[in-house]
Structure 1
Amino acid sequence: MARIDYCDTSKSNERTREILGKNRNANIFRMMAHSPSYFEQYCRLGGAIRNKGELDPVVRELAITRTGILCEAPYEIVAHKRIGRNVGVTDEQNAALEDWKSATCFNETQRAALAFTDEIVAMRRPTDATFKAIATKLTPAALVELQLSVGFYIMTSKFLETFEIDMQPVSEVV
C-alpha cells in the first residue's frame, strides 16, 4: 500500500487529467499528480526518452529494465519488460537480465550497454574501460541518450520505492 494517498484526480486541473488519461491513470502517475508541474515535465522527458532520439529501443529497454532490477523496483521491472517485448526484446533476454553476464542472448552492443548501466547505477561513474567499450558502439547522441535513460529510470525507480507505489495488473502497467 502506498505510503501516502494517491492524488484525488477529481480535483486536478484539466492538463493533469489529460496526461493521466494518456498514461492509463497508472499508479505512479496518480502519485506524481500531487505536483502537477513536475508531473507534466516528468512525462515530457519520459516521452522523449521512449519516443525520440536515435538510441536503439531494444538497448534502451534492456538498460531501463536492468536499472529497475538493480534499484529493486518491481513495478519498473514489470512495466519495462512489457515495453521491451513491444520493441523487440526477446523473452529470453528479459529472463536473462538478472544475470546477463553469463547469458549468450545479448549482442556486443547490448552487453556493453548493460555493463555501462550496471556501473552507472552502482558507482559514481562508469570506469574508463566500460565507457570506451560503449562509446565505440554508439554515436555521441545515442550514448547521451543511454546515460540519460539510465539516470531517469534510477530516479523513477527510487520514486516508486520511496512511495511504495502499488503494483497494477500487468495489462495496466505503463
Structure 2
Amino acid sequence: MARIDYCDTSKSNERTKEILGKNRNANLFRMMAHSPSYFEQYCRLGGAIRHRGELDPVVRELAIIRTGILCEAPYEIVAHKRIGKNIGVTDEQNEALENWEAAACFNEVQRAALAFTDEIIRLRRPSDATFKAIAAKLTPAALVELQLAVGFYIMTSKFLETFDIDMQPVEQVV
C-alpha cells in the first residue's frame, strides 16, 4: 500500500487530468499528480526519452529494464518488460536481463549498453573502457540519450520505491 494517498484527481486541473488520461491513470502518475507542475515536466521529459531521439528503442528498453532491476523497482520492471516486448525486445532477452552477462541473446551494442547501464548505477561513473566501448557503437546523440534514459529511470525507480507505489494489472501499468 502506498505510503501516502494518491492524488484526488477529481480536484486536479484540466491539464493534469488530460495527462493522467493519456497515461491510463497509472498509480505512478496519480502519485506524481500531487505536484502538477513537476508531473507535467516529468511526463514531457519521459515522452522525449521514449518517443524521440535516435537511440534504438530496443537498446533503450533493455537499459530501462536493467535500471529497474538494479534499483529493485518491480513496478518499473513489469511495465518496461511489457513496453519492450511491444517494440521488439524478445521474451528470451526479458528473461535474461537479471544475468545478462551470461546470456547469448544480446548483440554487441546491447551488451555495451547494458554494461554502461550497470556501471552508471553501480559506480560513481562508467569506467573509461566501458564508456569507450559504447561510445564506439553509438552516435553522440544516442549516447547522451542512453545516459539520460538510465538517469531518468533511476529517478523513476526511486520514486516508485520511496512512495511504495502499488502494482497494477499488467495491462494498466505504464
TM-score of the two chains, using structure 1 as the length reference:
1.00
Equivalent in the alignment of 2:55: 55
Uncovered stretches (5+) of structure 1, i.e. residues with no partner? none
Give per-residue Cα distances to partners, 1:74-99, cap 9 Å, x unaligned: 00000000000011000000000000
Give per-residue Cα distances to partners, 1:12-69, cap 9 Å, x unaligned: 0000000000000000000000000000000000000000000000000000000000
Q: CA separation in 1, counterparts of 2:133 and 2:64?
A: 19
Equivalent in the alignment of 1:10: 10
Q: How does 1:6-85 map to 2 (within 5 A)?
A: 6-85=6-85
Once the two structures are aligned, what percentage of the paired residues are identical?
A: 87
Equivalent in the alignment of 2:89: 89
Uncovered stretches (5+) of structure 2, i.e. residues with no partner? none
Q: CA separation in 2, counterparts of 1:104 and 1:42?
A: 35
Equivalent in the alignment of 2:147: 147
Partner amino acid, structure 2, of 1:37: S
Tell me how many residue pairs correspond in the alignment: 174
Give per-residue Cα distances to partners, 1:96-151, cap 9 Å, x unaligned: 00000000000000000000000001111000000000000000000000000000
Q: CA separation in 2, counterparts of 1:4 and 1:51?
A: 31
Q: CA separation in 1, counterparts of 2:162 and 2:122?
A: 18
Q: CA separation in 1, counterparts of 2:120 and 2:68?
A: 13
Moved over 3 A (4+): none
Equivalent in the alignment of 2:161: 161
User: SS of the counterpart of 1:19?
Assistant: helix
Q: Cα offset for 1:166?
A: 0.1
Equivalent in the alignment of 1:135: 135
Q: CA separation in 2, counterparts of 1:38 and 1:121?
A: 24
Q: CA separation in 1, counterparts of 2:53 and 2:159?
A: 25
TM-score of the two chains, using structure 2 as the length reference:
1.00
Q: CA separation in 2, counterparts of 1:86 and 1:106?
A: 17
